[in-house]
Structure 1
Amino acid sequence: MARTQPSEGDRRRGSLSAPVGRGLVSSGQVCILGHAGPSRTASRPGGIIQLSGSQVTTGGEARSVGTKTQNRPGATAMAVGNINELPENILLELFTHIPARQLLLRCRPVCSLWRDLIDLVTLWKRKCLREGFITEDWDQPVADWKIFYFLRSLRRNLLHNPCAEEGFEFWSLDVNGGDEWKVEDLSKDQRKEFPNDQVKKYFVTSYYTCLKSQVVDLKAEGYWEELMDTTRPDIEVKDWFAARPDCGSKYQLCVQLLSSAHAPLGTFQPDPVTIQQKSDAKWREVSHTFSNYPPGVRYIWFQHGGVDTHYWAGWYGPRVTNSSIIIGPPLP
């Protein structure tokens, strides 16, 4: 049966009873209050949104009295029967201030007008620009701006405690040989050499193999199954390691994309890196990007470590820090 397209009147009529945030949309009425000044800010959900010299509130901030509303001395509001009577560009501007998940889960089902507006590319480009995900001169192609927005909003290092600031919290010590894993501080000279001045500590291995790992649960981190299976965004893995100048060492890394049953769907395992004694002690970066991997990825397993090659008591093996797993499009 062919679907009947709603008329303009039908699009602008509809139940507005779906709550957004904490009462952001509680009825079909909206109050527009006079406000001096070109303010253009948004409050938290449930508060007043100020737009281009007007305040718009739908959370019961103003008290309706007949056809006019008094919110405070000097401010008089005129009640509009239906929020959909506002111009569409105003509705779009309002939507840019509502959290994305609320837009899709709570606002989009309200009526066909809201659905059509929320599906517009313009809205998601505005949200990306407003939150700094793109710049005004952004010229890179984007296949789906809605997906792009979500991936950028989720973008962060998914490994917890990558720089040993919390000891071994979040890490599983799979192999703890020799004098075992240890956390040390970067010296002042080492901090000057390291490319990230925020890194102040590292993990160091011993004279028998030391390996530690961490499992990233993608759903727990906000990456729902359909997003991963349909979009399959790039997954970038990085790690930093260094040897001591007075002792040789061997570094190793393995990263796997895992299914819900923890079966491997993709693996990055470069050959172990052996650094000879009296070599430079500079920090080195290893990186890899997973692309076009099979659907079904639910976890990412990251393991690294190594051993010193002279079997000296103490902690003379490779040092590791600033590890990262980042999903999604690059920064502008």
Structure 2
Amino acid sequence: MSEWKERCEAEWGLKGAPLPDSRDWKAVYEAKPLGRNLLKNPTPHGLSKDTPPPEPDLLDEPDRGPPRFIPDGDFSGWTTSTETLPYDASGIPEGVVICALPTYSWFSMEQVVDLKAEGLWEELLDEFQPEIVVQDWYEESQLHVSIYQLHVKLLAADKSTVISEHTVNPTEDCSVYSHTWKEVSHVFSGYGPGVRYVQFLHRLKNQFFNGFFGTTFTGSSVMVNPTKTSS
């Protein structure tokens, strides 16, 4: 066994995992594909989950400009899109004159992780099937009853065949103010052979009403751990 192969096996605890001699184990070791975050730019807002989210700025005067739908941040590494939602007048009694309603929008951010390009090898993914751990933190607020969605898919080599997926669509208690971070996480295990990509997509809701009020996030991660919990 080569020195680099021994290092990979020892440091990552890969006893029982397939370690074919055909691999360039020096390259695998230097890529460090196991136990690190495979997402790029996981904190576009520059915030940490160890510090409470900043309180929103309240304007002294209403913003008279056009509605704004894109939050502040450096979203390099992410594919982004915006969906403006129709006005919701439900719950307003008939005959009431409506002067203005808030405008809501979803801001979507997506990354597709190429597991082989990150240094993982087919035999490990297909036979050993290590845990793929997804984690995210979003800002709890009273902005709306639904402010966050997460969709994660494990994809085959064609990038269209879904081998496993996980969706989160929580609801918020708008009657209680606890402005903090909320954790979302999931562990994929025993997912079957063929996984080559991880598609990570989350959506956060923004509101424009006399100013822009967004939902922030931090600490997004996709990690492959050298552990196997089920088959």
Q: How many residues align?
A: 172
**Is this contact kept in 1: 2:148–2:169, CA < 8 A?**
no
Show the counterpart of 1:301.
Answer: 199
Distance 2:215 2:133 in 1: 22
Structure 1: gaps spanning 5 or more residues: 1-91, 101-122, 135-141, 179-205
Show the counterpart of 1:112.
Answer: none
Distance 1:207 1:277 in 2: 19
Show the counterpart of 2:183.
Answer: 285
Match of 2:4 among 87, 95, 99: 99
The TM-score normalised by the length of structure 2 is: 0.63
CA distances 1:77-106 after superposition (whole Å, capped 9, x unpaired): xxxxxxxxxxxxxxx9xx5xx433xxxxxx
Structure 2: gaps spanning 5 or more residues: 20-24, 47-72, 86-102
SS of the residue 1:272 aligns to: coil
The correspondence of residues 152-301 of structure 1 with structure 2, limited to 5 A, is: 153-154=32-33, 155-164=35-44, 167-175=74-82, 177=84, 207-244=104-141, 247-248=143-144, 249-262=146-159, 263-276=161-174, 278-301=176-199
Distance 1:267 1:237 in 2: 11
**Is this contact kept in 1: 2:18–2:124, CA < 8 A?**
no
**Is this contact kept in 1: 2:156–2:195, CA < 8 A?**
yes
Distance 1:156 1:231 in 2: 18
**Is this contact kept in 2: 1:259–1:297, CA < 8 A?**
yes
The correspondence of residues 57-206 of structure 1 with structure 2, limited to 5 A, is: 98-100=3-5, 128=10, 143-144=15-16, 153-154=32-33, 155-164=35-44, 167-175=74-82, 177=84
SS of the residue 2:118 aligns to: coil
Q: CA deviation at 1:176?
A: 5.1
Specify which structure has the higher proportion of helix.
1
Q: 1:217 to 1:315 in 2, by over 3 A?
A: farther
SS of the residue 1:99 aligns to: helix
Distance 1:314 1:298 in 2: 43
Distance 2:210 2:198 in 1: 33
Distance 1:211 1:322 in 2: 16
Distance 2:4 2:166 in 1: 36
**Is this contact kept in 2: 1:207–1:317, CA < 8 A?**
no
Larger radius of gyration: 1
Q: CA deviation at 1:321?
A: 1.1
Q: 1:240 to 1:145 in 2, by over 3 A?
A: same
Q: CA deviation at 1:175?
A: 2.6
The TM-score normalised by the length of structure 1 is: 0.45
SS of the residue 1:229 aligns to: helix
Mean Cα deviation higher: 313-322 or 249-258: 313-322
Mean Cα deviation higher: 312-321 or 215-224: 312-321
Q: 1:313 to 1:210 in 2, by over 3 A?
A: farther
Distance 2:79 2:209 in 1: 24
Q: CA deviation at 1:221?
A: 0.6
Q: CA deviation at 1:304?
A: 0.7
SS of the residue 1:269 aligns to: strand
Tell me: higher relative CO, structure 1 or 2? Use CA pairs within 8 A at least 6 residues apart. 2
Q: CA deviation at 1:276?
A: 1.2
How many percent of aligned residue pairs carry the same amino acid?
A: 34
Q: 1:234 to 1:173 in 2, by over 3 A?
A: same
Q: CA deviation at 1:207?
A: 2.5
CA distances 1:21-61 after superposition (whole Å, capped 9, x unpaired): xxxxxxxxxxxxxxxxxxxxxxxxxxxxxxxxxxxxxxxxx
Show the counterpart of 2:89.
Answer: none
Distance 1:229 1:322 in 2: 28
Structure 2 residue identity aligned to 1:269: T
